[in-house]
Copies of this chain bind each other. A is one copy, B any other.
Amino acid sequence: MKKVVVVLSGGMDSATTLYQAIKDGFDPYTISFNYGQRHKKELDYAKELCENISINHKVVDITNLTEVINKSALTNADIDVPEGHYAQENMKITVVPNRNMIMYSIAIGYAVNIGALAIYVGVHSGDHAIYPDCRPEFISELDKIAKIANEGFIAEDFTVKAPFLNKTKADIVRIGHELNVPYELTWSCYKGGKEHCGKCGTCVERMEAFELAKIKDPTLYE
């Protein structure tokens, strides 16, 4: 079976991406990042999700990066996580400068290192409004630069796969439901408390997705 690297946050989208990679017939190597996010808890969920189906999982600690990149509510404890809808303007404070480019670059390095044929990432259309590094233009450029940066060292048909790039989060829930993704083993809440807060942008988006998909939400909200 051909190897692929799956970037796994511990949230619903990347969990579904992992199950999609398996369905696509690949041998997935998952990678998660500790980048100083307050909801570090998602990493325990990523770990459990992988252990649950015996999948190779690595966590790379890049918290040192906060020394040069520190202006996001997600990684700076002095800045409050905003409440409200995920697509609102005030969510911009949750942007970590160049985050996906950094993480995906590392994932691509990992792919080259183990001779993987692709990286799988879980971005979807609901991310586009707030996060410029989740848009189709970005994924398409990433695909190009990965091949250029590693020419001679990477599979010629290497690709960046974003199976849900033009899907909504509700679509993802529907697809994941078919794939038997155990959503109780995923974490979304940006606040990273004991349970999902139910109020921050990503909690609101999570609840909405299950509602729209008409699928029972297994999440316990505060």
Contact = CB atoms under 8 A, between A and B. Distances in A.
Contact of A105 (B95, B98, B132): B98
Q: Assembly of this chain: how many copies?
A: 2
Nearest to A104: B105
Query: Could you say which interface size class chain A belongs to?
Result: 35 or more
B64 A60 contact: yes
A135 B148 CA distance: 9
A81 B92 CA distance: 46
A61 B146 CA distance: 23
A138 interface: yes
Contact of A149 (B65, B109, B132, B153): B132
Given A58-B68, A105-B105, 7 more contacts: A60-B65, A62-B64, A64-B64, A68-B106, A69-B106, A135-B148, A145-B145
Interface of A: 31, 58, 60-62, 64-65, 67-71, 92, 95-102, 105-106, 108-110, 112-113, 132-133, 135, 137-138, 141-142, 144-146, 148-153
